[in-house]
Amino acid sequence: MGSEVSKQIQRRKAVSVEKQMLFDLNENCGEIFPGCDYRPTDRKNWMASLGPKDLHINNIVWPGTHNSATDRIGIPCISRPFAQCQTLSVYQQLVLGTRVLDIRVNENNHVCHGILLTYNIDVVINDVKKFLFETTSEVIILEIRTEYGHRDPPEFEDYLEEKLGMYLIHQDDYVFGKTIAELLPKRIICVWKPRNSAQPKPGSPFWSAEYLKDNWIDTDLPSTKFDSNLKYLSDQAPVSSRNFFYRVENTVTAQPDNPVVCVRPVTGRIHGYARLFINRCFAEGCANRLQVFSTDFIGGDFVDACVGLTHARVHGEC
pLDDT tens, position by position, 62-109: 999 999 999 999 999 999 999 999 999 999 999 999 999 999 999 999
CA dist 248 and 294 (Å) reads: 6
pLDDT of residue 257: 77
Which pLDDT belongs to residue 5? 63
- Does position 21 have pLDDT exceeding 60, yes or no? yes
pLDDT > 70: percent of the chain: 98
Q: Answer yes or no: is pLDDT of 9 > 90.
A: no
Span 218-226, average pLDDT: 97
pLDDT at residue 79 in the model: 94
- Write down the pLDDT at residue 96: 98
pLDDT score, position 260: 82
Q: Which residue has the higher pLDDT, 92 or 6?
A: 92
Nearest to 190 by CA among 129, 268, 112, 270: 129
CB-based contacts of 180, cutoff 8 Å, min separation 6: 47, 52, 53, 55, 57, 137, 139
Mean pLDDT of the chain: 96
Structural domains of the chain in order of their starting residue, each with its CATH number: 1-315 (3.20.20.190)
pLDDT digits (tens, 9 = 90+) for 244-287: 999 999 999 998 877 788 999 999 999 999 999 999 999 999 99
C-alpha pair distances (Å), 250 with each of 159, 197, 272: 32, 30, 9
pLDDT band of residue 2 (cuts 50, 70, 90) is: low
- Statement: residue 1 has pLDDT above 70: no
- Single out the residue of 209, 216, 63, 48 nearest to residue 143, CA to CA: 209
Closest CA to 71 of 304, 303, 264, 212: 264
CA proximity to 140, closest of 53, 63, 238: 63
Phi then psi dihedrals of residue 47, to 5 deg: -65, -45
Which one, of 93, 85, 179, lies nearest residue 131 by Cα?
A: 93
